[in-house]
Amino acid sequence: MQAVTSRQTSPASRILWVAIAIVGAFCLGVVALRRGEPINAIWLVAASIAIFVIGYRYYGKFVEHSVLRLDPTRAPPSVLRNDGLDYVPTDKWVVFGHHFAAIAGAGPLVGPVLAAQMGYLPGTIWILFGVVFAGAVQDFMILGLSLRRDARSLGHMLRQELGPLPGIVAMIGVLVLMMIVLAVLALVVVKALTHSPWGTFTVACTIPIALLMGGYLRWFRPGRILEVSIIGLVLLLASIWFGKIVYDTPALATLFDFDAKALAWLLIAYGFCASVLPVWLLLAPRDYLSTFLKIGTIALLALAIFLSAPMLQMPAVTKFIDGSGPVFSGNLFPFLFITIACGAVSGWHSIIASGTTPKLLANEGQARLVGYGGMLMEAFVAIMALVAAASLHPGVYFAMNSPGAIIGTTVQDAATTISQWGFVVTPDELIQTAKNIGENTILSRAGGAPTLAVGMAQLLHNILPGGGMMAFWYHYAILFEALFILTTVDAGTRVGRFMIQEIAGLIHKPLQETASWTGNLLATAICVFLWGYFLYQGAVDPLGGINTLWPLFGIANQMLAAIALMLATVVVVTLKRERFVWVPGIPALWLIVCTLTAGYEKLVGPISFTAAASKYSAALQQGQLLAPAKSTAAMQQIVTNNYVDMALTGLFMALIVAMVLFSLRALIKAWQTNHPTAHEEPYVALSSVAG
């Protein structure tokens, strides 16, 4: 019915869509074809918006009507199982806001910044086409499948459609992925705060502020989230302002001046405490603050880009597409597609699209807005992060994102090396940038957050000039990223702890008790050890950590996306809609090829963990010390770390291959059956239960 009515488009709407298509094509033409002169970011933003709305209107609708065949007359889980708490039919815009807040995180902000080393064009094209044909399709299809299955989780659906063993295999993948995510995100914070007294002070202030908010919410004004969040925000802004005093006072500054190793240990200790303490005291208030700050800052970034309309100073394509780039190693294929995960396609979203969201949707007809539309919004955030990075002076960009082992540790060395690459920059420019943002140095602050913060600070400074304001904006941006990364670390450690307690409970029953202190402390310690190991490894890594660990994170995240898309492919066939098998099938295949190629290159060849391990062990045998290691024990540690990364890469590849085989088995079986075999819940008319 819906499909028939939607074909009757009015002439006016047809003209509108043709106009959008022409404007979009023109903007994209400007972005792609103008060479040798810098272009304005607005072209890129306009082209993206045009592609998003066309993708939403046409491809999204096609997936809705032909592939998923969503039916607005069908009762969704929120209506069938309405309990007033978890399952509640909710206004579609409220669900959209909730879904977007849950999927948006640090990922879409970091990946595009790292990928900017290849120029802004490769990243832009992958984000735009990746999201329309892979990312949004994944989120939307998993949401659609979950809506038809009592809002079940991804793991549950995998067990149901593929069998118990594939379900377990995928869940191991999720647990390992989570540990890598926590480690890499914590490393982003470490890189941002290393020898930064101002930043460290403001981030440290979030702990007492959160405790205060927690107490206020518990005893003074229970349940008044918005009120307490405003108080928290005012205190946060005050702490940024006070941070300048700390930075200017040498006696105070030394108290908050830490190196990467010390910060890693502090974060590990903090993560342990935060996930053992009652949630209302620290975790929950931090969560409220970071959620609101996140949405507010994304809006602020959009406003800054539209108002200041910066020129893109980074070339469209740099010579680093050949794989010799300093930020991350590896060719455009497959590493661009691994580096930008969130923003183009992210496996994590499949967990959220089969979590709270399907329990809230009041009608299947609203799933496209939330599932497909929510992911397009995330891609827009990724485009903005790319714009912020590409509008920086390329010399500054490379100084901030290249490891010390490549550009040296002084501004003179860095300026010479980077100028030799063709991005002419003087030592003075690097010193001046550091001074403007209230930092001692900007060299080798990889991880995306500082680069984005400088980009944002410059954009905001353009529209709101004022002496010293750039440093304020820089620290505001750092604080905002650190705040929600640390909230993810707390919450993730807690989730990991429950998973580990569940596994431990199989061996010794009492350990499963979440209220038992022995089980609690033990499982938390194991969980913190798992991500803490990789965090510390990143802090002592010769290439600065992000260079080494971000590809691992990318491989893991895209692996999960491939698994989700394989599930969608299998279901399309079990529903006997084989002619649409390519809709989830091609993106799934693409991600399998990308992850396996990237994994292979990380195991064998010049940029592999194996090569790094043998380089250090060969030097060790000859009694040499290679920087940054200062002792044979540190050398040995680097060798071991690389072996661990190798093993992990191998594990991810084995998981993918196993899931491909399980999916193929299910596909062949479904293809040979001549009737639908998918495990959908029976149809119940909405009109028969509503009201």
Partner 1 sequence: MKATLQALRKWAVQTARLCCGVPDYDVYLQHLREHHPERKLPSYEEFFRERQEARYKGGGGRCC
- In the complex with partner 1, the residue whose CB is nearer, 451 or 488, is 488
- In the complex with partner 1, the residue whose CB is nearer, 288 or 328, is 288
Q: Is 500 exposed, middle or buried (0-12, 13-18, 19+ CB in 10 A)?
A: buried
Shortest distance (Å) from residue 195 CB to partner 1? 26
Q: Is residue 349 close enough to count as binding partner 1 by CB under 8 A?
A: yes
Q: What is the DSSP letter of 465?
A: -
Q: Using alpha carbons only, what angle is made at residue 359 by residues 488 and 688, rounded to the nearest 5 degrees? A: 175
Neighbouring CB atoms inside 10 A of 173's CB total 22
List the one residue from 355, 438, 538, 585 that touches partner 1 (CB under 8 A): 355
Q: Is residue 211 close enough to count as binding partner 1 by CB under 8 A?
A: no
Q: What is the DSSP letter of 40?
A: B
Helices 427-436 + 411-420 axis angle, to 10: 120
User: Using CA atoms, how far apart are residues 643 and 129, in angstroms rounded to an integer?
Assistant: 35
- In the complex with partner 1, the residue whose CB is nearer, 88 or 644, is 88
- Binding track over 102-121 against partner 1, x by CB under 8 A: xxxxxx--------------
Q: Are 412 and 427 in contact (CB under 8 A)?
A: yes
SS3 582: helix
List binders of partner 1 among 625-664 (CB under 8 A). Answer: none
Q: Are 263 and 257 in contact (CB under 8 A)?
A: no
Shortest distance (Å) from residue 495 CB to partner 1? 6
- In the complex with partner 1, the residue whose CB is nearer, 294 or 461, is 294
Shortest distance (Å) from residue 350 CB to partner 1? 9
The separation between the first and the last C-alpha atoms of the chain, rounded to the nearest angstrom, is 23
Which residue in this structure is represented by tokens 């440093």? 471
List binders of partner 1 among 282-301 (CB under 8 A). Answer: 283-284, 287-288, 291-292, 295
List binders of partner 1 among 166-195 (CB under 8 A). Answer: 174, 181, 185
Q: Pull the structure tokens for residue 107.
A: 């990922």
Q: Is residue 146 close enough to count as binding partner 1 by CB under 8 A?
A: no
Q: Is residue 64 close enough to count as binding partner 1 by CB under 8 A?
A: no
Q: What is the DSSP letter of 404?
A: H
List the one residue from 59, 498, 533, 582 that touches partner 1 (CB under 8 A): 498
Q: Is residue 494 close enough to count as binding partner 1 by CB under 8 A?
A: yes
User: Using CA atoms, how far apart are residues 51 and 387, in angstroms rounded to an integer?
Assistant: 17
List the one residue from 11, 36, 84, 467 that touches partner 1 (CB under 8 A): 84
- In the complex with partner 1, the residue whose CB is nearer, 184 or 418, is 184
Shortest distance (Å) from residue 184 CB to partner 1? 8
- In the complex with partner 1, the residue whose CB is nearer, 97 or 323, is 97
Residues 6+ apart with CB under 8 A from 485: 106, 185, 186, 188, 189, 449
SS3 685: strand
Q: Is residue 446 close enough to count as binding partner 1 by CB under 8 A?
A: no
- In the complex with partner 1, the residue whose CB is nearer, 301 or 457, is 301
Q: Are 563 and 589 in contact (CB under 8 A)?
A: no
- In the complex with partner 1, the residue whose CB is nearer, 225 or 626, is 225
What pairs with residue 685 in β-bridges? 74
User: Residue 360: left if φ>0, alpha if ψ -120 to 50, beta else—which one?
Assistant: alpha
Q: Is residue 216 close enough to count as binding partner 1 by CB under 8 A?
A: no
Q: Are 609 and 649 in contact (CB under 8 A)?
A: yes
List the one residue from 194, 206, 346, 401 that touches partner 1 (CB under 8 A): 346
Binding site for partner 1 (CB under 8 A): 82-86, 88, 90-91, 93-94, 97-98, 101-107, 153, 174, 181, 185, 222-223, 225-226, 279-280, 283-284, 287-288, 291-292, 295, 341-342, 346, 348-349, 351-352, 355-356, 360, 488, 491-492, 494-495, 498-499, 553, 557
